[in-house]
């Protein structure tokens, strides 16, 4: 693990090694980075830069369309919370909204049985090239993420394949995020401060703007490092690790330049009970159903879901406040 960057850098190339000791070495470095920071850069021979660039070009073409065209696939029309998200749809606080638009792609579950609020067929635009390119990227990063689940299992003292049984139909979401050029964005945040709800996130951004809250409660700019992805711990991994890893708050600061960002949020299966898995430790967290937590947090942010709650069409059970995990900002109660 290299320390000469703002964040630790872990080379994950050896996660595909047939030698257990080499996979363990990566797991130990990942463990150290997640315990100390919760945010890190990852680099690896398994990453395919051509798919990254193809996704950027695909997103550029899609978001260049007029608003009416994009709204034909508005996320509120979908069955499993997928599709186009216009500026202002997401609101972490009632009086603010994010200066971004996105296209959200969930696990494209085609079976008719065992559907859940986030597990069903993805809403796709009428564009075969868009679907093919996005699915190629999704599958590639999903494969990398499953290698990392193996590393986390080793780091937490579990059997290497521990998580495999709980990743059969996981509602892991890919977001294609576009921050438009906005010369008047001096006093606005791209995304407000938050933790991610899932186990961990793998992020590919095209420009700076990301800020991370350090252990001193200060916001730190995260520069881009060539040929890396950014990884961070989410709420569910904080619970699974019994607090050894902390879900780190982050935000996107005001940006003038056009920016694209592609996070894939890795979760376990919807009905998997998230609880500490560390052996011989008293649990510090109560169990929660992973999918239920993910949907509850989502429903507290998206306007179309809030409206369903207001109309009595949707009732959230066991919902936790949005700021239930992660470190507090300086001066924050």
Structure tokens at 83: 């599709």
pTM (two decimals): 0.91
| Residue 130 banded pLDDT, cuts 50, 70, 90 | very high
- In this predicted structure, what is the pLDDT of residue 331? 37
| Residue 180 banded pLDDT, cuts 50, 70, 90 | confident
| Residue 3 banded pLDDT, cuts 50, 70, 90 | low
Q: Does the structure show a pLDDT above 90 at 35?
A: yes
Lowest mean pLDDT among 29-38, 246-255, 286-295, 319-328: 319-328
Backbone angles phi, psi at 220, to 5 degrees: -120, 130
Residue 43 lies in a domain: yes
Q: Are 173 and 145 in contact (CB under 8 A)?
A: no
Backbone angles phi, psi at 304, to 5 degrees: -65, -30
Residue 137 lies in a domain: yes
Q: Which CATH number belongs to the domain containing residue 19 in this structure?
A: 2.60.120.330
CA 232, distance to chain mean position in Å, is: 8
Exposure string over 132-169, b if 16+ CB within 10 A, otherwise e: ebbebbbebbbebbbebbbbbbbbbebebebbeebbeb
* C-alpha–C-alpha distance, residues 110 and 108, integer Å: 6
Residue 230 lies in a domain: yes
**CB-count burial class (<10 Å; 0-12, 13-18, 19+) for 319:** middle
- In this predicted structure, what is the pLDDT of residue 316? 84
Residue 329 lies in a domain: no
**Nearest of 138, 151, 116 to residue 269 by alpha carbon:** 116
Count of structural domains within the chain: 1
Residue 209 lies in a domain: yes
In this prediction, what percent of the chain has a pLDDT beyond 90? 67
- In this predicted structure, what is the pLDDT of residue 117? 87
- In this predicted structure, what is the pLDDT of residue 216? 81
* C-alpha–C-alpha distance, residues 83 and 77, integer Å: 8
**Nearest of 33, 49, 53, 50 to residue 41 by alpha carbon:** 33
Strand pairing class (273-274; 210-213):
unpaired
Q: Does the structure show a pLDDT above 70 at 324?
A: no
Q: Does the structure show a pLDDT above 70 at 276?
A: yes
Q: Are 26 and 15 in contact (CB under 8 A)?
A: yes
Instruction: List, for residues 54-90, the tens digit of each pLDDT value.
Output: 999 999 999 999 999 999 999 999 988 999 999 989 8
Residue 164 lies in a domain: yes
Query: Left if phi > 0, otherwise alpha if psi is -120 to 50, otherwise beta: which for 247?
Result: beta
Residue 151 lies in a domain: yes
Tell me the residue range of the domain where 200 lies: 7-309
| pLDDT average, residue stretch 296-316 | 89
Q: Does the structure show a pLDDT above 70 at 162?
A: yes
The rounded mean pLDDT for the chain is 89
Query: Could you identify the residue written with the tokens 């899932």?
Result: 198
**Nearest of 267, 258, 265 to residue 59 by alpha carbon:** 258
Residue 316 lies in a domain: no
**Nearest of 86, 28, 36, 41 to residue 201 by alpha carbon:** 41
């Amino acid at each position: 693990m290299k320390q000469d960057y703002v964040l630790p850098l872990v080379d994950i190339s050896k996660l595909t090694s047939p030698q257990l000791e080499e996979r363990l070495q990566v797991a130990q470095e990942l463990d150290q980075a997640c315990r100390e920071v919760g945010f890190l850069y990852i680099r690896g021979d398994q990453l395919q830069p051509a798919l990254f660039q193809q996704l950027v070009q695909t997103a550029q073409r899609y978001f260049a369309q007029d608003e009416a065209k994009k709204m034909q696939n508005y996320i509120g029309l979908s069955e499993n919370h997928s599709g186009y998200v216009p500026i202002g749809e997401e609101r972490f606080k009632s009086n603010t909204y994010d200066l971004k638009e996105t296209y959200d792609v969930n696990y494209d579950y085609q079976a008719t049985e065992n559907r859940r609020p986030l597990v069903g067929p993805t809403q796709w635009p009428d564009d075969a090239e868009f679907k093919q390119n996005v699915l190629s990227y999704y599958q590639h990063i999903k494969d990398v993420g499953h290698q990392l689940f193996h590393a986390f299992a080793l780091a937490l003292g579990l059997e290497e394949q521990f998580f495999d049984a709980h990743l059969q139909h996981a509602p892991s979401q890919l977001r294609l995020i576009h921050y438009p050029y906005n010369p008047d964005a001096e006093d606005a945040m791209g995304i407000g401060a938050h933790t991610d709800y899932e186990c961990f996130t793998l992020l590919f951004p095209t420009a700076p703007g990301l800020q991370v809250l350090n252990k001193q409660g200060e916001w730190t700019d995260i520069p881009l490092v060539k040929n890396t992805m950014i990884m961070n711990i989410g709420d569910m991994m904080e619970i699974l690790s019994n607090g050894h890893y902390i879900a780190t708050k982050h935000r996107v600061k005001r940006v003038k330049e056009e920016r694209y960002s592609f996070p894939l949020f890795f979760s376990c299966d919807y009905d998997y009970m998230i609880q500490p898995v560390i052996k011989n430790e008293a649990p510090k967290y109560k169990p929660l159903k992973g999918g239920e937590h993910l949907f509850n947090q989502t429903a507290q942010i998206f306007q179309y879901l809030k409206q369903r709650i207001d109309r009595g069409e949707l009732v959230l059970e066991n919902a936790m406040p949005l700021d239930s995990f992660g470190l507090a900002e300086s001066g924050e109660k």
